[in-house]
Structure 1
Amino acid sequence: MTRPAGFTLIELLITLVVVGVLTAVAVPAYGSYMLRTRLTDAYAGLAGVQPLAEQYWANEHSFEELDGAAGFPAATENFTYSVTAESDTAYTVTATGRNGATGFRFTIDQNGRRTSALSAARIAEGWAASDRCWVSDKGGKCSE
């Protein structure tokens, strides 16, 4: 007597459960990975501001109009950049998140001080703001 070809209902249900568990773990992990990748736009843009500002001050003896300097970071898909405070001797440049990075705001000033401000929604997701660094994950780890 030959056994009919095919899968039993139990085998199909076990397969469905395994795929469901893998999906439940993989999708959130991938989303978190993509968000952390988007944040590198801000880190790279703001890290380039400090040497640019030093050169600008050496030429102009002021930080006013810094956002008009050649090399000032251009807006990316995930962040816009602006000088939120500027004077002859001080500046603060802010990267404000948009699209996939909405709710994040990172700053750097003339002293190299870095801060991270977050919307209430991002705090509710488990992210933490910092007045000493740019946060790079939910645990509050600072980007280097």
Structure 2
Amino acid sequence: MMNHKPSCPQSGFTLIELMIVVAIVAILAAVALPAYQTYTQRAKFTEVIAATGPAKTAIEVCAQTGGKDCTKSANGALSGAVATNIVASVEVSADTAGGGNNEKGPWIITATGTDEVDGSTFIMKGELDNGRVKWTNNPSDSAGSCVTNGIC
């Protein structure tokens, strides 16, 4: 019998090469998954932040037109319009601890997310400044849990 050698030697990947590729893909997935989950949480939380819009607008209009109870106006603008599967509630109050009142502020808007965003809260403070309302989203007394959770 004749010894027959193939004219083209077989080529391909060895088992160890395939295992190395699988290990690299697994490491990359392990690093990317937590980053992706944080990204999706942040994206969902933008709905909670956007839900403060009607309250902000109502306070600004009330303050600029000399309204008497801007807190009531803001809560009226919210009246059930913000509850979704991501937004649990949005509430407006006067910052009475800072000497404020319903007419001239400062006002505190607290938006709370559902379990979809770990129940995180977003707090804004609005202060009347030369006829305009100046908003800060990180008041010194409380920043909301979204800051500590890293999603806002």
TM (normalized to structure 1)? 0.65
Match of 1:67 in 2: 75
Match among 106, 116, 129 for residue 122 of structure 2: 106
Structure 1: unaligned runs, 5 residues or longer: 129-134, 137-144
Deviates more, 1:23-32 or 1:59-68: 59-68
Deviation per residue, 1:59-107 (Å, 9 max, x gap): 8521225322268751232222332525632442211121231142112
Q: Are 2:109 and 1:93 equivalent residues in the alignment?
A: yes
Q: Are 2:132 and 1:118 equivalent residues in the alignment?
A: no
Q: Which portions of structure 1, spanning 4 or more consecutive aligned residues, are displaced by more than 3 angstroms? A: 2-7, 56-60, 70-73
Q: What is the Cα-based RMSD across aligned positions, in Å?
A: 3.2
Q: Is the 8 A contact 2:55 2:75 kept in 1?
A: no
Larger radius of gyration: 2
Aligned pair count reads 125
Structure 2: unaligned runs, 5 residues or longer: 95-100, 128-134
The structure whose RCO (Cα within 8 Å, separation 6+) is larger is: 2
Identity over aligned pairs, percent: 25
Q: 1:56 to 1:71 in 2, by over 3 A?
A: farther
Q: Is the 8 A contact 1:92 1:108 kept in 2?
A: yes
Deviation per residue, 1:12-35 (Å, 9 max, x gap): 211211211221122112112111
Match among 8, 17, 20 for residue 26 of structure 2: 20
Distance in 2, matches of 1:70 and 1:117, equals: 20
How far does residue 7 in structure 1 lie from its aligned partner after superposition? Answer: 4.3
Deviation per residue, 1:28-71 (Å, 9 max, x gap): 12112111112211222224422222335548521225322268
Match of 2:41 in 1: 35
TM (normalized to structure 2)? 0.62
Q: 1:20 to 1:70 in 2, by over 3 A?
A: closer
